[in-house]
Amino acid sequence: GIQVEQSPPDLILQEGANSTLRCNFSDSVNNLQWFHQNPWGQLINLFYIPSGTKQNGRLSATTVATERYSLLYISSSQTTDSGVYFCAVPLTNAGKSTFGDGTTLTVKP
Amino acid sequence: DARVTQTPRHKVTEMGQEVTMRCQPILGHNTVFWYRQTMMQGLELLAYFRNRAPLDDSGMPKDRFSAEMPDATLATLKIQPSEPRDSAVYFCASGLGTGLGGLFFGEGSRLTVL
């Protein structure tokens, strides 16, 4: 099945810094999603982005499907950005759902 | 504001007891997923349904777990008998069958089996 790899596994930032999280996937996909799991455990949709670029406030994401990777950009990070960021292929052609292991982000004040 | 609703939010029970978790998917979504999250295993897919039919439950321990969709507005995940190793957060998510638009998660049911 499709493998989803995220990097880095852990990231510590000072408030105000920018960061880039990466997601590599092993096969072509027609759906890809980024989630943020906050410290309370809620899984929040950030982007549904099988291709192209989207922006939402300080966050943006780009997926280059032909090269099998996606990037999540966080600008001017805030302490509330802390948590785990997951990249996922919600539904593969084989009918499977695959999540990466996540990037744990800690933003320090 | 459409959302996936899960109950109970928290459940503490003793080993051997039956546990039932419920999920109301977003209206119009025809695909429902059950995931389990633990510190050790991350997010594991247990089962998923499309148009109420189970498509894949290979991630679910068959001897004690069962998942059903009695109707389009309700999905259930049952554990009988429960064991301490079942302690985890169980998430339900819903989406469109094609995967387009992505998945939307409920807030999870935190299960503790003593």
Over the stretch B40-69, which tens digit does the pLDDT of each residue have? 778 888 998 989 998 888 888 889 999 999
Over the stretch B60-95, which tens digit does the pLDDT of each residue have? 888 999 999 999 999 999 999 999 999 999 999 998
Q: Does B43 touch chain A (CB under 8 A)?
A: yes
Rounded CA gap, B93 and A54, in Å? 23
Those residues whose C-beta lies under 8 Å from the C-beta of residue B34, and which sit 6 or more positions away, are B23, B45, B46, B47, B48, B60, B67, B75, B77, B90, B91, B92
pLDDT class of A95 with cuts at 50, 70, 90 = low
Return the pLDDT at B89: 96
Return the pLDDT at B76: 97
Residues of B in contact with A101 (CB under 8 A): 42
By the 8 A CB rule, do B76 and B67 touch? yes
Mean pLDDT for the stretch of residues A100-105: 95
- What's the CATH number where A75 sits? 2.60.40.10
Q: Does A39 touch chain B (CB under 8 A)?
A: no
Strand bridging mode B42-50 / B31-38: antiparallel
Q: Read off the tokens for A105.
A: 């982000």
What's the domain range around A91? Answer: 4-108
Return the pLDDT at A94: 62
What are the residue boundaries of the structural domains of chain B, listed by start? 5-113
How many domains does one find in chain A?
A: 1
pLDDT class of B99 with cuts at 50, 70, 90 = low
- Decide if A43 and B95 are in contact by the 8 Å CB cutoff: no
CATH superfamily of B5-113: Immunoglobulins (2.60.40.10)
Question: Which of the 8 DSSP states describes residue B87?
Answer: -
Burial class of B90 by CB neighbour count within 10 A (0 to 12, 13 to 18, 19+): buried
Return the pLDDT at B15: 97
Q: Does A48 touch chain B (CB under 8 A)?
A: yes
Rounded CA gap, A62 and A44, in Å? 18
Q: Does A88 touch chain B (CB under 8 A)?
A: yes
Q: Which of B22-31, B32-41, B63-72 has the lowest mean pLDDT?
A: B32-41
Those residues whose C-beta lies under 8 Å from the C-beta of residue B76, and which sit 6 or more positions away, are B20, B21, B22, B23, B67, B68, B69, B70
Over the stretch A11-56, which tens digit does the pLDDT of each residue have? 999 999 999 999 999 988 888 999 999 988 999 999 999 999 999 9
Question: Which of the 8 DSSP states describes residue B84?
Answer: G
Question: Which of the 8 DSSP states describes residue B114?
Answer: -
Please provide the DSSP assignment of chain A as one string.
Answer: ---EEEE-SEEEEETT--EEEEEEESS--S--EEEEE-TT--EEEEEE-SSEEEEETTEEEEEEGGGTEEEEEE-S--GGG-EEEEEEESS-TTS--EE---EEEEEE-
Rounded CA gap, A8 and B52, in Å? 38
Closest CA to A102 of B101, B60, B39: B39
Return the pLDDT at B40: 72
